[in-house]
């Protein structure tokens, strides 16, 4: 006899069938001998479970799964037909499968809620370590029993991973690497934008970075705060730590001889924080950097002792004492034959101890002093006349303090003339006699007297 496909192959209690189908595995259909429906129910359950865990871990899809579950129960009830005498094994098999499944699902759901609570507490306190410890307990069963909570946990795990990257980048930025700073702050901003609810965790990472700022190298801090000034999240800490860091960096650069960058850092304090507690130090630092720069420039221009550039373009060194009364210590350049004979307490080599820079030219014959006759060995009846001259040396003297020309003159060194004999060099076989003009023989005292009016006032 033909039997329609919706008629059970064998009879079973509707209640037992409904309980069997509550297992999600179509056990109730098996009690009715409907293997195809049992397979279809199981496959549908697996497909929905996979979609719930992977593609749609949301509350609304959980409702879809519950509707599927309820539909299987109701369908099994009505498919069983009128109540029939239950076989004892139906009431053994159905609960034996359904009850463990439902109990396990309930326990997993309860445990998932507990994990979710721990994760939420960690998220609210900004504690990624605590959140990740709780998330380590999650497995597939929790995802199946409470997919939305598992998805929220995945978001927290992603946030913590990104925040770890941000913290590492910011730590690299503490060494003055603004590229790392940008990476760190962009990552923090991405967590706040892409993963709402994790703002406190992002704040904890930022607070840790800002707490480390004052302890770093002052010049690294100055570089960092140059960039951080544009970030409102860091404004309060930057305004508190930046002035001191700029001054400290200026001090470090100045001590290292980098006066240009030192001056830049000091000036930033005066431009950006003129009322800060370190403004006076910055003002003093600007002056020190300026003087150090002037001194470095003077040293450079004097480095070529034979033809120093200073003598053609003298710059000021404002820390030098003014040219005035007393002994004006000088750096002499040129004509060492005579300038080296000056008193040691007049001559210095260090610009920090000098008042004048004196540029001396080559000596020439100056004012004629006396003419004397000397015997000519070749022509004894024709004596040689020799005129003795003072030694003339052109000088330009610059006040080191201002770089201004204070003397453009020619000093003349006196000395003894007309010695009993003179020395000279003859060439060839004929002695032509001494030259007609010769310098006087100057003593150290004569040299000193010639320069005295320039050095002592």
- Please write the tens of the pLDDT for every residue from 291-348: 999 999 999 999 877 778 899 989 999 999 999 999 999 999 988 889 999 999 999 9
Residues 58-115: tens digit of each pLDDT: 778 888 888 888 888 888 888 887 765 556 566 667 777 778 887 887 887 787 888 8
Find the mean pLDDT for residues 23-31. Answer: 81
E runs forming strands in 110-239: none
Query: Residue 429, Cβ neighbours under 10 Å: how many?
Result: 5
State how far the Cα of 289 lies from the Cα of 255, in Å rounded to an integer: 10
| Total residue length of the chain | 457
* Confidence tier at 432 by pLDDT (50, 70, 90): confident
Name residue, tokens 């406190």: 200
Contact yes or no for 50/37 (Cβ under 8 A): no
Q: Look at 112-116, 236-240, 376-380, 423-427 and tell me which has the smallest mean pLDDT.
A: 376-380
* Beta bridge partners of residue 179, listed in sequence order: none
Enumerate residues 6+ apart whose C-beta is below 8 A from 399.
320, 322, 323, 355, 356, 406
Query: What tokens does 441 get?
Result: 């023989």
User: Percentage of the chain with pLDDT > 90?
Assistant: 52
pLDDT of residue 2: 43
The continuous run of DSSP H or E covering 45 comes out as: helix 35-54
Query: What tokens does 265 get?
Result: 């850092």
Find the mean pLDDT for residues 42-60. Answer: 80
Burial 380-417 (b: 16+ CB within 10 A, else e): eeeebebbbbbbbbbbbbbbbbbbeeeeeeebbbbbeb
Task: Check residues 147 and 269 and name the one with the higher pLDDT.
Answer: 269
**Exposed, middle or buried by CB within 10 Å (0-12, 13-18, 19+), for 219?**
buried
Residues 173-186: tens digit of each pLDDT: 988 889 999 999 99
Residue 365 scores a pLDDT above 90: yes
Query: What tokens does 41 get?
Result: 């129910």
Residues 200-241: tens digit of each pLDDT: 999 999 999 998 888 788 999 899 989 998 888 888 888 889
pLDDT of residue 409: 94
Residue 400 scores a pLDDT above 90: yes
Name residue, tokens 């040219």: 323
* Confidence tier at 11 by pLDDT (50, 70, 90): low
State how far the Cα of 344 lies from the Cα of 341, in Å rounded to an integer: 8
Mean pLDDT of the chain: 87
State how far the Cα of 250 lies from the Cα of 256, in Å rounded to an integer: 10
State how far the Cα of 226 lies from the Cα of 229, in Å rounded to an integer: 6
pLDDT of residue 201: 95
pLDDT of residue 91: 66
Strands 356-360 and 330-333: parallel
User: Percentage of the chain with pLDDT > 70?
Assistant: 94
Enumerate residues 6+ apart whose C-beta is below 8 A from 120.
none
* Confidence tier at 54 by pLDDT (50, 70, 90): confident
State how far the Cα of 231 lies from the Cα of 182, in Å rounded to an integer: 10
State how far the Cα of 376 lies from the Cα of 374, in Å rounded to an integer: 6
Find the mean pLDDT for residues 353-365. Answer: 94
Residue 429 scores a pLDDT above 70: no
Contact yes or no for 376/424 (Cβ under 8 A): no
pLDDT of residue 455: 94
* Confidence tier at 5 by pLDDT (50, 70, 90): low
The most confident of the ranges 9-18, 151-160, 364-373, 375-384 is 364-373
In the chain, where are the structural domains located? 14-125, 147-295, 310-421+431-455
Q: Is the pTM of this model over 0.75?
A: no
Find the mean pLDDT for residues 349-371. Answer: 94
State how far the Cα of 308 lies from the Cα of 361, in Å rounded to an integer: 12
């Amino acid at each position: 006899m033909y039997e329609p496909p919706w008629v059970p192959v064998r009879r079973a209690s509707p209640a037992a069938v409904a309980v069997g189908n509550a297992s999600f595995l179509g056990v109730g259909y098996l009690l009715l001998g409907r293997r195809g429906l049992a397979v279809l129910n199981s496959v549908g359950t697996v497909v929905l479970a996979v979609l719930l865990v992977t593609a749609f871990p949301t509350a609304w899809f959980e409702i879809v799964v519950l509707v599927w579950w309820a539909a299987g129960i109701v369908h099994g009830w009505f498919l069983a037909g009128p109540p029939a005498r239950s076989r004892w094994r139906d009431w053994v098999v159905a609960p034996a499968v359904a009850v463990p499944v439902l109990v396990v699902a309930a326990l997993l759901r309860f445990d998932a809620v507990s994990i979710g609570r721990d994760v939420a507490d960690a998220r609210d306190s900004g504690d990624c370590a605590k959140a990740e410890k709780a998330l380590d307990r999650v497995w597939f069963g929790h995802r199946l029993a409470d997919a939305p909570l598992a998805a929220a946990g995945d978001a927290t795990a992603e946030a913590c991973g990104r925040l770890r990257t941000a913290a590492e980048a910011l730590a690299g930025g503490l060494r003055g690497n603004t590229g790392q700073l940008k990476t760190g702050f962009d990552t923090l901003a991405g967590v706040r934008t892409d993963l709402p609810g994790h703002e406190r965790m992002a704040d904890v990472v930022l607070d840790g970075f800002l707490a480390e700022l004052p302890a770093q190298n002052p010049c690294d801090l100055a570089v960092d705060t140059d960039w951080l000034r544009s970030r409102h999240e860091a404004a309060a800490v930057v305004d508190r730590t930046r002035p001191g860091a700029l001054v400290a960096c200026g001090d470090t650069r100045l001590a290292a001889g980098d006066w240009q960058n030192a001056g830049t850092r000091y000036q930033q304090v005066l431009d950006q924080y003129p009322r800060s507690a370190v403004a006076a130090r910055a003002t003093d630092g600007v002056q020190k950097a300026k003087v150090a720069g002037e001194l470095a420039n003077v040293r450079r221009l004097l480095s070529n002792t034979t033809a120093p550039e200073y003598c053609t373009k003298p710059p000021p060194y404002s820390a030098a004492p003014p040219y005035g009364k007393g002994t004006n210590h000088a750096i002499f350049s040129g004509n060492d034959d005579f300038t080296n004979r000056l008193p040691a307490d007049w001559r210095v080599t260090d610009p920090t101890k000098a008042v004048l820079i004196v540029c001396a030219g080559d000596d020439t014959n100056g004012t004629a002093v006396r003419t004397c006759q000397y015997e000519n060995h070749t022509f004894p009846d024709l004596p040689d006349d020799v005129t003795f001259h003072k030694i003339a040396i052109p000088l330009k003297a610059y006040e080191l303090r201002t770089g201004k020309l204070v003397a453009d003159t020619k000093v003349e060194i006196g000395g003894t003339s007309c010695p009993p004999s003179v020395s000279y060099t003859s060439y060839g076989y004929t002695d032509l006699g001494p030259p007609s003009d010769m310098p006087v023989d100057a003593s150290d005292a004569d040299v000193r007297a010639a320069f005295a009016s320039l050095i002592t006032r």
